[in-house]
Amino acid sequence: MPSHIDIAVNLVGSALENDIDNVIHAAAAQGVSPLIVIGSSLEESQQAIDCAQRYPEALLTTAGVHPHHASEWDANSSTRLRQLAQHPAVVAIGECGLDYNRDFSPRPMQRSAFAKQLALAVDLNMPVLMHERDAHHDFVEILKEYRPQLKGALLHCFTGDRHSLERYIELDLHLGITGWVCDERRGTELASLVGDIPAERIMLETDSPYLLPRSMRPKPKSSKNLPQYLPYISQYVAQLRGQPANEFAAQVYANTCAFFDLQANYEAF
Protein backbone atom coordinates (compact mmCIF):
# COMPACT_ATOMS: atom_id res chain seq x y z
CA MET A 1 0.00 0.00 0.00
CA PRO A 2 1.46 3.41 -0.95
CA SER A 3 2.20 5.86 1.85
CA HIS A 4 0.59 9.30 1.88
CA ILE A 5 0.80 12.45 4.00
CA ASP A 6 -2.22 14.75 4.08
CA ILE A 7 -0.67 18.23 4.18
CA ALA A 8 -3.84 20.10 5.18
CA VAL A 9 -6.41 18.78 7.62
CA ASN A 10 -8.75 21.10 9.50
CA LEU A 11 -8.91 18.80 12.49
CA VAL A 12 -9.68 21.45 15.11
CA GLY A 13 -12.40 24.06 14.84
CA SER A 14 -14.32 21.91 12.34
CA ALA A 15 -16.80 19.05 12.08
CA LEU A 16 -13.92 16.61 12.63
CA GLU A 17 -13.06 17.86 16.09
CA ASN A 18 -15.37 15.48 17.96
CA ASP A 19 -14.15 12.38 16.11
CA ILE A 20 -10.38 12.84 16.01
CA ASP A 21 -9.46 9.32 17.11
CA ASN A 22 -11.57 7.68 14.40
CA VAL A 23 -10.36 10.14 11.74
CA ILE A 24 -6.72 9.36 12.52
CA HIS A 25 -7.16 5.58 12.59
CA ALA A 26 -9.30 5.42 9.45
CA ALA A 27 -6.66 7.44 7.60
CA ALA A 28 -3.79 5.30 8.84
CA ALA A 29 -5.64 2.17 7.68
CA GLN A 30 -5.45 3.62 4.14
CA GLY A 31 -1.75 4.49 4.43
CA VAL A 32 -2.36 8.16 5.21
CA SER A 33 -0.12 9.16 8.12
CA PRO A 34 0.93 11.54 9.52
CA LEU A 35 -1.73 14.23 9.10
CA ILE A 36 -0.68 17.87 9.12
CA VAL A 37 -3.21 19.85 11.14
CA ILE A 38 -3.78 23.43 10.03
CA GLY A 39 -3.59 26.35 12.43
CA SER A 40 -5.79 29.22 11.21
CA SER A 41 -5.50 31.54 14.21
CA LEU A 42 -3.20 31.78 17.20
CA GLU A 43 -5.81 30.13 19.40
CA GLU A 44 -6.44 27.36 16.89
CA SER A 45 -2.70 26.85 16.40
CA GLN A 46 -2.37 26.22 20.14
CA GLN A 47 -5.28 23.78 19.97
CA ALA A 48 -3.60 22.00 17.07
CA ILE A 49 -0.39 21.68 19.07
CA ASP A 50 -2.32 20.33 22.04
CA CYS A 51 -3.95 17.79 19.74
CA ALA A 52 -0.59 16.77 18.28
CA GLN A 53 0.74 16.20 21.78
CA ARG A 54 -2.05 13.67 22.35
CA TYR A 55 -1.21 11.88 19.08
CA PRO A 56 2.55 12.37 18.66
CA GLU A 57 2.94 9.51 16.17
CA ALA A 58 0.07 10.61 13.96
CA LEU A 59 -0.14 14.41 13.86
CA LEU A 60 2.03 17.37 12.90
CA THR A 61 0.84 20.96 12.74
CA THR A 62 1.26 24.39 11.28
CA ALA A 63 1.00 27.60 13.31
CA GLY A 64 -0.24 30.81 11.80
CA VAL A 65 -3.02 33.29 11.12
CA HIS A 66 -5.34 32.79 8.14
CA PRO A 67 -6.33 35.96 6.25
CA HIS A 68 -9.86 35.53 7.61
CA HIS A 69 -8.37 36.20 11.06
CA ALA A 70 -5.95 38.92 10.02
CA SER A 71 -7.96 41.56 11.90
CA GLU A 72 -6.97 39.74 15.11
CA TRP A 73 -3.27 40.41 14.47
CA ASP A 74 -1.87 42.85 17.03
CA ALA A 75 1.42 44.02 18.51
CA ASN A 76 1.85 40.77 20.44
CA SER A 77 0.99 38.36 17.64
CA SER A 78 4.50 37.95 16.23
CA THR A 79 5.88 37.11 19.66
CA ARG A 80 3.08 34.65 20.35
CA LEU A 81 3.46 32.98 16.96
CA ARG A 82 7.21 32.72 17.43
CA GLN A 83 6.58 30.88 20.70
CA LEU A 84 4.10 28.49 19.12
CA ALA A 85 6.44 27.77 16.22
CA GLN A 86 9.11 26.48 18.61
CA HIS A 87 7.05 23.39 19.41
CA PRO A 88 8.52 20.24 17.81
CA ALA A 89 5.18 19.32 16.22
CA VAL A 90 5.06 22.57 14.22
CA VAL A 91 6.49 22.05 10.75
CA ALA A 92 5.51 25.32 9.01
CA ILE A 93 4.25 28.84 9.52
CA GLY A 94 0.70 29.20 8.25
CA GLU A 95 -1.95 29.05 7.09
CA CYS A 96 -1.20 32.62 6.03
CA GLY A 97 -1.89 34.62 2.90
CA LEU A 98 -4.64 36.68 1.27
CA ASP A 99 -8.33 36.04 0.64
CA TYR A 100 -10.13 38.72 -1.35
CA ASN A 101 -13.06 36.45 -2.11
CA ARG A 102 -14.74 36.80 1.27
CA ASP A 103 -12.84 39.73 2.79
CA PHE A 104 -13.54 38.61 6.35
CA SER A 105 -10.67 40.91 7.35
CA PRO A 106 -9.85 44.28 5.73
CA ARG A 107 -7.39 43.86 2.88
CA PRO A 108 -4.70 46.17 4.36
CA MET A 109 -4.76 44.05 7.54
CA GLN A 110 -4.52 40.87 5.48
CA ARG A 111 -1.47 42.18 3.64
CA SER A 112 0.22 43.29 6.86
CA ALA A 113 -0.37 40.00 8.70
CA PHE A 114 0.83 38.02 5.66
CA ALA A 115 4.07 40.01 5.36
CA LYS A 116 4.79 39.72 9.06
CA GLN A 117 4.35 35.96 9.00
CA LEU A 118 6.62 35.64 5.99
CA ALA A 119 9.25 37.70 7.80
CA LEU A 120 8.93 35.46 10.85
CA ALA A 121 9.30 32.33 8.71
CA VAL A 122 12.51 33.76 7.25
CA ASP A 123 13.80 34.58 10.73
CA LEU A 124 12.98 31.09 12.03
CA ASN A 125 14.17 29.36 8.85
CA MET A 126 10.82 27.59 8.51
CA PRO A 127 8.70 26.89 5.44
CA VAL A 128 5.33 28.57 4.97
CA LEU A 129 1.96 27.09 4.08
CA MET A 130 -0.06 29.74 2.28
CA HIS A 131 -3.60 30.56 1.15
CA GLU A 132 -4.54 32.72 -1.84
CA ARG A 133 -7.99 33.34 -3.24
CA ASP A 134 -8.84 36.08 -5.73
CA ALA A 135 -5.72 37.97 -4.63
CA HIS A 136 -3.06 36.78 -7.04
CA HIS A 137 -1.43 40.15 -7.81
CA ASP A 138 -1.05 41.38 -4.24
CA PHE A 139 -0.09 37.89 -3.07
CA VAL A 140 2.78 37.74 -5.56
CA GLU A 141 3.92 41.30 -4.84
CA ILE A 142 4.27 40.54 -1.12
CA LEU A 143 5.65 37.04 -1.50
CA LYS A 144 8.37 37.88 -4.02
CA GLU A 145 10.05 40.18 -1.49
CA TYR A 146 10.57 37.29 0.93
CA ARG A 147 10.78 34.28 -1.38
CA PRO A 148 14.58 34.32 -1.88
CA GLN A 149 15.08 33.99 1.89
CA LEU A 150 12.29 31.49 2.62
CA LYS A 151 13.27 27.91 3.33
CA GLY A 152 10.23 26.72 1.40
CA ALA A 153 6.89 28.06 0.23
CA LEU A 154 3.76 25.98 -0.33
CA LEU A 155 0.51 27.30 -1.77
CA HIS A 156 -2.11 24.94 -0.45
CA CYS A 157 -5.37 24.19 -2.27
CA PHE A 158 -4.21 25.57 -5.60
CA THR A 159 -7.20 26.24 -7.87
CA GLY A 160 -5.77 28.96 -10.13
CA ASP A 161 -5.50 29.40 -13.86
CA ARG A 162 -2.55 28.85 -16.19
CA HIS A 163 -1.19 32.35 -15.69
CA SER A 164 -1.09 31.99 -11.93
CA LEU A 165 0.37 28.48 -12.20
CA GLU A 166 3.23 29.74 -14.36
CA ARG A 167 3.91 32.63 -12.00
CA TYR A 168 3.93 30.36 -8.96
CA ILE A 169 6.31 27.96 -10.64
CA GLU A 170 8.59 30.93 -11.42
CA LEU A 171 8.54 31.73 -7.70
CA ASP A 172 9.59 28.13 -6.99
CA LEU A 173 6.48 27.31 -5.00
CA HIS A 174 5.18 23.89 -4.07
CA LEU A 175 1.51 23.45 -4.93
CA GLY A 176 -1.05 21.48 -2.95
CA ILE A 177 -3.82 19.79 -4.94
CA THR A 178 -7.15 18.85 -3.37
CA GLY A 179 -10.29 17.02 -4.37
CA TRP A 180 -11.31 20.18 -6.21
CA VAL A 181 -9.63 18.54 -9.20
CA CYS A 182 -12.29 15.80 -9.05
CA ASP A 183 -15.16 18.26 -9.46
CA GLU A 184 -16.65 18.16 -12.96
CA ARG A 185 -18.31 21.56 -12.38
CA ARG A 186 -15.47 23.65 -10.98
CA GLY A 187 -12.33 21.59 -11.37
CA THR A 188 -11.99 21.14 -15.12
CA GLU A 189 -9.41 23.89 -15.56
CA LEU A 190 -7.34 22.56 -12.68
CA ALA A 191 -7.57 19.05 -14.14
CA SER A 192 -6.08 20.40 -17.37
CA LEU A 193 -3.18 21.99 -15.47
CA VAL A 194 -2.00 19.38 -12.96
CA GLY A 195 0.07 17.65 -15.61
CA ASP A 196 2.15 20.81 -15.96
CA ILE A 197 3.16 21.02 -12.30
CA PRO A 198 6.79 19.91 -11.98
CA ALA A 199 7.03 16.47 -10.39
CA GLU A 200 9.14 17.74 -7.49
CA ARG A 201 6.71 20.59 -6.73
CA ILE A 202 3.38 18.80 -6.30
CA MET A 203 1.77 17.75 -3.01
CA LEU A 204 -1.65 16.39 -2.10
CA GLU A 205 -4.22 17.27 0.53
CA THR A 206 -7.84 16.76 1.43
CA ASP A 207 -8.42 20.12 3.18
CA SER A 208 -10.90 18.00 5.12
CA PRO A 209 -13.66 18.23 6.14
CA TYR A 210 -14.11 20.42 3.05
CA LEU A 211 -13.90 19.66 -0.68
CA LEU A 212 -15.18 16.09 -0.76
CA PRO A 213 -14.17 14.66 -4.19
CA ARG A 214 -17.39 14.67 -6.22
CA SER A 215 -16.30 11.85 -8.52
CA MET A 216 -15.92 9.24 -5.76
CA ARG A 217 -17.98 6.11 -6.35
CA PRO A 218 -19.66 4.84 -4.34
CA LYS A 219 -20.37 8.31 -3.02
CA PRO A 220 -19.64 8.59 0.72
CA LYS A 221 -22.79 8.76 2.84
CA SER A 222 -21.49 11.78 4.70
CA SER A 223 -20.69 15.06 2.97
CA LYS A 224 -17.61 15.41 5.16
CA ASN A 225 -14.30 14.97 3.41
CA LEU A 226 -11.83 12.80 5.34
CA PRO A 227 -8.07 12.19 5.19
CA GLN A 228 -8.74 8.53 4.38
CA TYR A 229 -9.87 9.68 0.91
CA LEU A 230 -6.43 11.05 0.01
CA PRO A 231 -5.40 7.87 -1.90
CA TYR A 232 -8.39 8.40 -4.19
CA ILE A 233 -7.24 11.94 -4.97
CA SER A 234 -3.72 10.64 -5.56
CA GLN A 235 -4.90 8.02 -8.03
CA TYR A 236 -7.11 10.55 -9.80
CA VAL A 237 -4.25 13.05 -10.21
CA ALA A 238 -1.84 10.32 -11.29
CA GLN A 239 -4.23 9.38 -14.08
CA LEU A 240 -4.50 13.01 -15.18
CA ARG A 241 -0.70 13.21 -15.26
CA GLY A 242 -0.34 9.92 -17.10
CA GLN A 243 1.78 8.35 -14.35
CA PRO A 244 1.55 4.98 -12.62
CA ALA A 245 -0.36 5.50 -9.37
CA ASN A 246 2.29 4.01 -7.08
CA GLU A 247 5.09 5.95 -8.76
CA PHE A 248 3.20 9.21 -8.39
CA ALA A 249 2.32 8.51 -4.75
CA ALA A 250 5.96 7.81 -3.94
CA GLN A 251 7.05 11.07 -5.60
CA VAL A 252 4.48 13.12 -3.66
CA TYR A 253 5.42 11.41 -0.40
CA ALA A 254 9.10 12.18 -0.97
CA ASN A 255 8.26 15.80 -1.89
CA THR A 256 6.29 16.22 1.31
CA CYS A 257 8.95 14.69 3.54
CA ALA A 258 11.59 16.92 1.99
CA PHE A 259 9.54 20.11 2.19
CA PHE A 260 8.58 19.68 5.83
CA ASP A 261 12.02 18.30 6.72
CA LEU A 262 10.67 14.93 7.74
CA GLN A 263 13.55 12.90 6.33
CA ALA A 264 14.61 11.73 9.78
CA ASN A 265 11.10 10.40 10.34
CA TYR A 266 10.62 9.02 6.84
CA GLU A 267 10.69 5.39 7.91
CA ALA A 268 8.76 6.04 11.14
CA PHE A 269 5.79 7.34 9.21
DSSP labels for 177-221? E-GGGG-TTT-HHHHHHGGGS-GGGEEE---BTS---TT-SSPPS
Q: Which CATH architecture has domain 4-265?
A: Alpha-Beta Barrel (3.20)
How high does pLDDT run on average in the chain?
Answer: 95
> Does residue 263 carry a pLDDT above 80?
no
pLDDT of residue 269: 40
CA atoms of 173 and 203, how far apart (whole Å): 11
pLDDT of residue 267: 43
23-78: per-residue pLDDT in tens?
999 999 999 999 999 999 999 999 999 999 999 999 999 999 999 999 999 999 99
Question: Mapping DSSP to helix (H, G, I), strand (E, B) and coil, where does residue 226 land?
Answer: coil
Positive or negative, the CA dihedral 6, 29, 252, 216 is negative
Q: Given the DSSP bridges, would you call strands 128-133 and 59-63 parallel, antiparallel or unpaired?
A: unpaired
Positive or negative, the CA dihedral 149, 151, 157, 159 is positive
CB 44 within 8 A of CB 12: yes
Confidence tier at 221 by pLDDT (50, 70, 90):
confident
> Does residue 162 carry a pLDDT above 50?
yes
DSSP letter for 39, please. P
Confidence tier at 167 by pLDDT (50, 70, 90):
very high
Q: Which pTM was predicted?
A: 0.96
Q: Map out the domains of the chain as residue ranges.
A: 4-265
219's CB contacts (< 8 A; 6+ apart) are none
Confidence tier at 152 by pLDDT (50, 70, 90):
very high
CA atoms of 99 and 240, how far apart (whole Å): 28
